[in-house]
Amino acid sequence: MKTSPFSRSTSIALGLLFVHSLFAQNPQGSGPDAAMAQLSHLKVAEGLQVQLFASEPMVVNPTNLDIDARGRVWVTEGANYRLWQPWGKLRPEGDRIVILEDTDQDGKADKSTVFYQGNDVNAALGICVLGNRVIVACSPNVFLFTDTDGDDKADKKEVLFTGIGGTDHDHGVHATVFGPDGKLYFNFGNSGSQIYHANGSPVTDLLERPVTGGGKPYRQGMVFRCNMDGSQFEVLGHNFRNNYEVAVDSFGTLWQSDNDDDGNRGVRINYVMEYGNYGYRDELTGKGWQEDRTNMETEVPLRHWHLNDPGVVPNLLQTGAGSPTGMTVYEGHLLPEVFHNQVIHCDAGPRTVRAYVASPDGAGYKAEIKDLLTSEDTWYRPSDVGVAPDGSLMISDWNDAGVGGHHMADQKLDTLSGRIYRVAPIGASKYAVSAPSLNSAKDCVEALRSPNLAIRYLAWTRLSDMQAKAEPELLQLWQSSQPRLRARALHLLARIKDKPQDYLLRALADQDPNIRALALRIARSQNAQVIDLVTRLNQDSSPVVRRECAIALRYSKSEDAPDLWARLALQHDGKDRWYLEALGIGAQGNEDACFQAWLNQVGDQWNTPAGRDIIWRSRSKAAPGLLVQLIKDDKTEESEKPRYFRALDFHDGPEKDAALLQLLNL
C-alpha cells in the first residue's frame, strides 16, 4: 500500500490495513475511465457537485496544489517517494511540477504542461504560485522558480531557504502561502529541525535567536512569517508534531492542523495564537507526552498535547485518528453559505475534506465539523485543497489504499494514479476563468476581492506599488459592508507612506472587533510604538481585541507596559484559557514587572478563580510563594492541588527553593 508524502501514521487499525494490503492494486484500475468510475463513490455536501478535473496520466501522486490567476492548477508530484524503499526511484529524471489547464472551459483539464522536472523536487510538499514566480517546498530546500519569458517553463531556480531536515519525509518543510500583509507564511514539521539562508548562514528570529527545534527556545514543528526575500523572519508558533500546512485569512489569523503519534486519536486543529507554545513536547525538558508528570491529563488525546501545563495554548478542535494534510480558508461566495469564511481541510486518514465552522469563544474560537467531500472508497486520499478564481474548490487525491508506514501499493510508474476534483454548486459545470485586469487602481481593487490567493497577490503587489494613487479606490473598499474586504483594504491603506497612523486610528475606533485587532497586528508588523494603541484598547469590550493588546506587549521595553498588562490581567474571567495564554505570551521578557504590577493593583484580593489562574500561568519570581499558599490553603480543593504543584516545575532559582522548603515543612 502506498502512503503519500503528505500522510502520517494514524492508528493501529490503519497499520493493520497497511500490512494486509501492502501489494494491493486499485480494484478499479488506473486511467481516465477508472477515475470516472471512482468518482461515483464520492459523497459531496448538499447543494454541491463534484467533477473529475484531471487524472492519470496527466498527473500522478499529487502531493500539493495551487491555482494561478488564470484558474490553472499547479501540482507537485510524488512518483519518487521514499527512495530508500525496495522500489527505489520510479522516475529517474526526477519528479515533476505540472500545470493543468481547462482550455475549453468544460470543467475538465485538457492540457498538461511540465513547468519543471528534477530530482531536487522529488515528492515536494508545497507549491505557491505568485505571478511568474513559483515557490516550491522540498526539504532540505525552499526553491524560488521564475518563468522569465512566459512560456510556462522554469528559466531560473534560486534557493530561498536551505538546511531544513525531513528530506524524503512528510515532517519536513511544507507549502508557503501569501498573507494579506504581503508576507510569506509557511511551516515545517518536527523533522525540519533548523533552517538556513541560501548562503548557509542560520536563520534567526527578530530577537536574533537561531531558529532550531532543540528548545532554545523553540521545539519541534514551527510556523513562520517573513518578507518575500526571507528577511524579518519570525517564529509564530512552535512545539507541533507535524503541522502540515498553514492557512491565513484576511484578518491575518492563522490556522493549522497537527498530527498525533501513532494511534492516539489526537489529531488536532489549531488557531495559532502568535508566539504560542503548542505542547507536543514538555516545554522544559523536551520529553515526550508519555513521560510521567504531575497533573497529567486523564485522556490520551489530551495528554498528547500537555494541555494541563501552564504555557500551552489550547486546541481549537480534536478530530480523533487521521492523517491531516492540506488546508485553506474559503473566502468566496460560490459555495453554500455554511462554508463562507471557514477553514477547509483535507484529512487523508478518514478520507474526508471538511470545514471547521468557527465562532468566537472568549479570546479564541470554537468550531464544528461540516463534511464537504467524503468517500468510502479506500483509495480516496485527499492531499490538498485550493480556491479557484470563480470560487470553486480544487481538491487533489493522492489515490491509494491507505496511509502510514512509508509504503505505497503502486510500485511501478505505469500504475501510479492521482486525481484532481472540482467542487462547485450543482449545475455549475462550466469552468470559465479569465486573467484579471490590473491596468488601473480600480481594476486592482476589484481583483483584491477575489477568493483566489494568486489573484490577490497580483492585486496587492500593484496596489502597494501605487501607494497614494490607489488610496481613493482602496477607501471605497474600506467602506464595504464585508469585514474581510475591509481588512484587505486596511492592510494596504496602512502601508501608504505618511498615512499609517491615520488609518490605524480609524481602525481602532471601528465597530468590528476583528478590525480593531487587525490595527494592532499591523502596528506590530511596522515596528510602530504600540503602547499608545494598547492604552486606547486595553479596556475594550472584546476579549479578541484585548488578546491582541496582551500579545502586543511581548518584550516591550516601555515603562508603561507592566501597568497596561496588569489592567488586561484584571479583566481575566477565570474561565478563558485563550485569554490566559495571551497574557502569558504578553508578559514574556517582562514577567516580574508585569506580575508585580498586577499584585499592586489587585491587592490582597488575588485569591479568586481569575487570580489563581494568573498565578498558575506566571513565570514571575514572586509566583512560587503564592503557589505554596494555594497548596497550603484549606479552602483549596484537593483535586486542584496537583495543578499548582505542576506549575512549580516551570520555575527555578532561590524563590522556587524557598517554596519547596515550605512544602517540605508542610
Tell me which amino acid residue 429 is.
S
Where in the chain is CATH 1.25.10.10?
441-665
Judge contact between 418 and 38, C-beta under 8 A.
no
Q: 441-665 — its CATH code?
A: 1.25.10.10
Location of C-alpha cell 480543593: 637
* Whole-angstrom distance, CA of residue 630 vs CA of residue 645: 10
- Give pLDDT tens digits for 264-320: 999 999 999 999 999 999 999 999 999 999 999 999 999 999 999 999 999 999 999
Strand order in the sheet with 141-146: 126-130, 133-138, 141-146, 156-162, 196-197
- Report how far apart the first and last C-alpha atoms of the chain are (Å, whole number): 59
Tell me which amino acid residue 594 is.
C
State yes or no: pLDDT of 9 exceeds 70: no
Where in the chain is CATH 2.120.10.30?
12-425
- Give pLDDT tens digits for 333-376: 999 999 999 999 999 999 999 999 999 999 999 999 999 999 99
- Give pLDDT tens digits for 53-82: 999 999 999 999 999 999 999 999 999 998
Which one has a higher pLDDT value, 52 or 263? 52
Question: pLDDT value at position 15?
Answer: 42
Bridge partner residues of 66 (DSSP): 74
- Give pLDDT tens digits for 198-219: 999 999 999 999 999 999 999 9
The three cell numbers of residue 142 are 525552499
Three-state DSSP at 318 gives strand
Judge contact between 81 and 6, C-beta under 8 A.
no
The number of CA neighbours under 13 Å toward the Cβ of 258 is 34
Judge contact between 304 and 264, C-beta under 8 A.
yes
Question: pLDDT value at position 408?
Answer: 80
Q: Is 297 exposed, middle or buried (0-12, 13-18, 19+ CB in 10 A)?
A: middle
Asked which of 17-26, 608-617, 618-627 is least confident by mean pLDDT, the reply is 17-26
The three cell numbers of residue 47 are 447543494
CA 355: distance to chain centroid? 15
* Whole-angstrom distance, CA of residue 168 vs CA of residue 519: 41
Bridge partner residues of 334 (DSSP): none
* Whole-angstrom distance, CA of residue 159 vs CA of residue 545: 38
| CATH superfamily, domain at 12-425 | TolB, C-terminal domain (2.120.10.30)
Q: Which of 657, 656, 621, 627 is nearest to 644 (CA)?
A: 627
The three cell numbers of residue 638 are 484537593
CA distances (Å), 536 to each of 491, 503, 520, 539, 594, in order?
20, 15, 11, 8, 19
**Please, which pLDDT band fits residue 19 given cuts at 50, 70 and 90?**
very low
Three-state DSSP at 270 gives strand
Whole-number average pLDDT of the chain: 94
Helices (H), 9-113: 12-20, 32-39
